[in-house]
Amino acid sequence: MVLEIKNICCIGAGYVGGPTMAVIADKCPHIQINVVDTNQERIEAWNSDDLTKLPIFEPGLDEIIRRTRGNNLNFSCDVEANIKKAEMIFISVNTPTKEKGVGAGQASNLKFVEVCARKVAQHAVGHTIVIEKSTLPVRTAEVIQNILEAYQENNPDIKEKPTFDVLSNPEFLAEGTAINDLENPDRVLIGGQNQNAINALSEIYFNWVPKEQILHTNIWSSELAKLTSNAFLAQRVSSINAIAAICESTGANVREVARAIGTDSRIGSRFLDSGPGFGGSCFKKDILNLVYLSRHFGLNEVADFWEVVVDLNNWHQHRISRIVVKNLFGNVTSKKICILGFAFKANTNDTRESAAINICKDLIEEGAILFINDPKVIPEQISKDLGLNESKELKNIEYEKIFSVSGSWCFERNILKAVENADAIILLTEWDKYTKIDWKLVEKKMRKPAWVFDTRSSLDKKEISNTNLNLWVIGEGTN
């Protein structure tokens, strides 16, 4: 039997909920989709007439929103009414790492998921399929199921008791390529017990995903597969970053090493780009979840194994700030440094866990004056991430006066202004626009000796070598 789904509700209009529901709405015009969020400002941004004001930047998303919003896709703050209407509910709320209590610093804080489950228990009508879309620790589905059942035990007078099935359907989209990842997934993973519920969700994906790419597993395998997938990817990035450090010391070139190993079909070529260290909302959090889980089951060696992936990433980020300071004669106090890119990767406005945060904090602590540029990240977000307000006066300060300032930053949209009289440029995010910089012009603007630190190996090395700029490239060192 296949339950017919006419109404879907997604709780959480973030980087996952927003694009995922937009693509489902686009592919399934026969289904009404209501995305709800408790953050009114975010919902208003999703409903903005100006599509450049959507709360998240994701290439291709604005076009899909234009096609679907107001037709079968709606954004609202009315959580209760939309739970009532829905036969299927996706939980897509954030699950930050716990800051206090048991598992602090490692375990995920499930308070938002719990709040959602209670709301669903209270307002759902008839039979409802509840789907965990947020990345969660293994056995969270069980928690959700328990909350749904406990509500009924606590309220024995409810006449028409709703019934529930809980499924796990982890999201594998990567930011910056989310729309393509959703439209052409390598696989869709559905974990659960009840075949009718699994079929109902599979039917939705059948609208655009070939049957053989929809994998069914038990609920815990599905939950663990998501954590494992991110842990494996993050592990590759830490591995290649560790090799980059060896390359810099030995004269080997990490790109050449990556190409040589990546052509081995057993290894494969992706996720071998050395960079400033992985960021994003998932990698660190998911590995720490795995570490917590392993320790919980007494598997200390397993926990230690995965923890090192995160430790190496932290070390690697600080290593980059140390290299910058060392090359600027061991001192960056009152020196102007231009930062190119603050997002954790290109094509997103997301800065969560971005390597730029640690690297910029280190340099500010050393006394540097940072002029930060990013095509999509807003200065207010950078203030939050650095825990330091932007010094707007810096932008117009006379050149001589800059030397009386230290440990400060400002946002500068104009790259040529950001590099004026700067001692160094550090590329942290591989935005395409940075590959088109006119290095001859930049050279004229900088104070000599001037440095370019390319932590993504994405700048035009040939162009830079035609100038007097000193160049340091990740996994190669000084050219």
Q: Which is nearer to ligand UDX, 111 or 392 (CB)?
A: 111
Of the candidate spans 90-98, 138-146, 289-297, 462-470, the one that interacts with ligand UDX by CB under 6 A turns out to be: 90-98
Query: Could you give the string, one character per residue 380-399, with x where binding to ligand UDX holds by CB under 6 A and - elsewhere?
Result: --------------------
Positions marked catalytic: 171, 226, 282
| 3-state DSSP helix/strand/coil % of the chain, to nearest 5 | 45, 15, 40
Residue number with CB closer to ligand UDX (190 or 369): 190
Which among 58-66, 195-203, 280-288, 431-439 is the span making contact with ligand UDX, rule CB under 6 A? 280-288
SS3 at position 356: helix
Closest to ligand UDX by CB, 128 vs 274, is: 274
Does residue 135 touch ligand UDX according to CB under 6 A?
yes
Other beta carbons within 10 angstroms of residue 70's beta carbon come to 11
Asked if 25 is part of the footprint of ligand UDX (rule: CB under 6 A), the reply reads no
Please name the residues in contact with 407: beta carbons below 8 A apart, sequence gap of 6 or more. Answer: 333, 364, 365, 366, 367, 368, 369
Question: Is there binding between residue 123 and ligand UDX (CB under 6 A)?
Answer: no
Out of 15, 151, 306, 453, point to the residue binding ligand UDX (CB under 6 A). 15
Establish if 289 lies at the interface with ligand UDX (CB under 6 A): no
Question: In this structure, what DSSP letter does residue 423 have?
Answer: S
The answer to whether 424 and 381 are in contact (CB under 8 A) is: no
Give yes or no for a contact between 451 and 424, defined as CB atoms under 8 angstroms apart.
yes
Are the C-beta atoms of residues 435 and 458 closer than 8 Å to each other? yes
283 binds ligand UDX per the rule CB under 6 A: yes
Choices 66-74, 266-274, 319-327, 387-395; region in contact with ligand UDX by CB under 6 A: 266-274
Q: How far apart are the C-alpha atoms of 18 and 54, rounded to whole Å?
A: 10
**Of 139-147, 199-207, 281-289, 291-299, which segment contacts ligand UDX by CB under 6 A?**
281-289
Interface with ligand UDX includes 475 (CB under 6 A)? no
SS3 state of residue 267: coil
Residues 329-358 that bind ligand UDX (CB under 6 A): 344-345
> Would you call the peptide bond into 379 cis, given omega within 30 degrees of 0 as the criterion?
no
Q: Does the footprint of ligand UDX cover residue 282 (CB under 6 A)? A: yes
Q: Are 65 and 73 in contact (CB under 8 A)?
A: yes
CA gap 239, 335 in Å, rounded? 33
Q: Residues in the site for ligand UDX, rule: CB under 6 A?
A: 11-17, 37-39, 42, 92-95, 112, 115-116, 134-135, 171-175, 230, 233, 237, 271-273, 275, 278-283, 285, 344-345
